Amino acid sequence: MRSARYALSAIVLVTVAVFAAATSGASNIGAAATCTRTSNIEAILDDSGSMDSTDPTKQRVRGLNLLIDTPGNEQTTLGAVEFGGSFAGTEDRSDTVFPPQAIGPNAASMKAALDQKIQADNGGTDYNQAFARAKADNPNAKAWIFLTDGGHNTGTYNNGHQGGPPTYVIGFGSSTTGVDGQRLQQIANDTHGKYYPQTDSSSLQSVMNEIGITLSCQTPPATFNNAFSQAGQSAAHAVKVSSNAKSAQFTLSWADPLDAFTIGNLVIKRHGKTVGKAKVRKLKVTRRTGTTFVVVKVSHLVPGQLRFRVRATRIGTGHANVKLTTQVSQSRQ
C-alpha cells in the first residue's frame, strides 16, 4: 500500500491545468496563419568563463541542438557565434561556431561544432563583440537568438543590436537584474523581439523551443510540467485540436541525460469516439530524439481532443522529483 501511494504522489502536475492548456493553443492558430516563417537565424551564445558555473551541463548547447533537430527546420538557414571578452577591451574573444547554412544536410556538423567550441573559455562578457561578429557572419539573418548569463562588462556598450533583426533575448544568472536586465529588455524592445528572463539554465531548452515555435509560425505552446521519481511512471494530458490545424508538435525536455522520457498513446477523441489514432486513422508521427529532449510531430490531424501520455523510461539520476517539461503547439502546415 505504501509503494502504491508513493507512486501516485510522485506524478505531480505542477503548473498547468489540462483544460487551460487544451484551449490556449487552439485559440491562437488564426494569428499564426498570418505569420511568415523565419528562414535565416543567427544564434549568439555567451561562452564567458562564468558559464562554467551558471550552465555547467551546457543546456545552451542542448537547446540549440533541439532547434536543429526539430522536424520542419531542415530548410532553415542557421549560423552560430560565441562571444566573451577581454576585460581590458583590447582582445576580440568572439568566434564563429559554424557559418550560416541549411540545417538539413549540416545538422551533425553543427552539433559537433557546438560541442567542441562551447567550453566557457572566452573570458569576460562583451556585447559589442557579440553583435559585431553576428553582423559580419550573417548579414542576411532575419532573427537573432541572443543568450547570456551576465551583463556587458567590457567598456561602454555601443548598442550594437540596433539595426539588427528581431532579437530573442534569453538572460539568466546575474544578467536579469538591475541595469543589466533593463539592457536586455531594451535590446528586445529596440529590435521588436522578445525577452525571456530566467532564474537559471535549467529552462534553456524549453525557452529555445518556444522561440523556435514562434519563428516557425506555430501557435504559442500549451505547457505541462510533471515530476517523476522512477521509471515507468506516466502522466496523461490533452489539447484541443483547432479546426484548421494540420499538425501538432510535442517537445519533451529535461535537464540530465541520465534520465529519459517518451511520449505515446496518441489518440484524437470527438464526443467520446476515436477519430484519429497513430498508425490507424492516418495520423503520421515523426520523432527526433536527443540526450535530453524528444520532439514529435503529428500530422494529418482532425478536429477533436488530442490525448497523449508522457512516461519516464529511465531515472538514472535517482532524484526524487525529476522535472519534465512538455510543450504542445499547432500549425496549419
- Determine the 3-state secondary structure of 209 from DSSP: helix
What was the pLDDT predicted at 7? 39
What was the pLDDT predicted at 92? 73
Q: Does one domain contain both 47 and 79?
A: yes
Residues 234 and 309: their CA atoms lie apart, in Å, by: 7
Q: What is the CATH number of the domain that holds 153?
A: 3.40.50.410
Predicted model pTM: 0.87
Note the pLDDT tens digit of each residue in 123-146.
899 999 999 999 999 999 999 999
Instruction: Name which of 56-70, 88-102, 165-179 the model is least confident about.
Output: 88-102
- Determine the 3-state secondary structure of 169 from DSSP: strand
Q: Does one domain contain both 27 and 142?
A: no
Q: Does one domain contain both 209 and 240?
A: no
Q: Does one domain contain both 95 and 192?
A: yes
> In the chain, what percentage of residues exceed pLDDT 70?
87
Q: Is residue 9's pLDDT more than 80?
A: no
Q: Does one domain contain both 132 and 276?
A: no
Instruction: Name which of 1-5, 80-84, 215-219, 265-269 the model is least confident about.
Output: 1-5
Domain hosting residue 229, numbered range: 2-33+220-331
Mean pLDDT estimate for the chain:
88
Close Cβ partners of 203 (under 8 Å, ≥ 6 residues apart): 325
Per the listing, cell 519516464 goes with 312
- Asked whether 193 and 131 are in contact (CB, 8 A), the reply is no
Single out the residue in 182, 215, 248 at which a domain terminates: 215
Outline where DSSP puts E strands in the chain: 12-13, 40-46, 77-83, 95-102, 143-148, 167-171, 194-197, 222-228, 234-241, 247-253, 259-270, 273-277, 284-289, 293-299, 304-315, 322-331
What was the pLDDT predicted at 278? 62
Note the pLDDT tens digit of each residue in 275-292.
777 654 567 889 999 999
Residues 53 and 56: their CA atoms lie apart, in Å, by: 5
Q: Does one domain contain both 279 and 211?
A: no
Single out the residue in 215, 240, 262 at which a domain terminates: 215
Count of the separate structural domains present in the chain: 2
Q: Does one domain contain both 198 and 278?
A: no
Q: How many CB atoms lie within 10 A of CB 102?
A: 15
Nearest-5° Cα angle at 255, 45 to 142:
30
What was the pLDDT predicted at 29? 58
Q: Does one domain contain both 198 and 318?
A: no
Q: Is residue 165's pLDDT more than 50?
A: yes
Q: What is the CATH number of the domain that holds 327?
A: 2.60.120.380
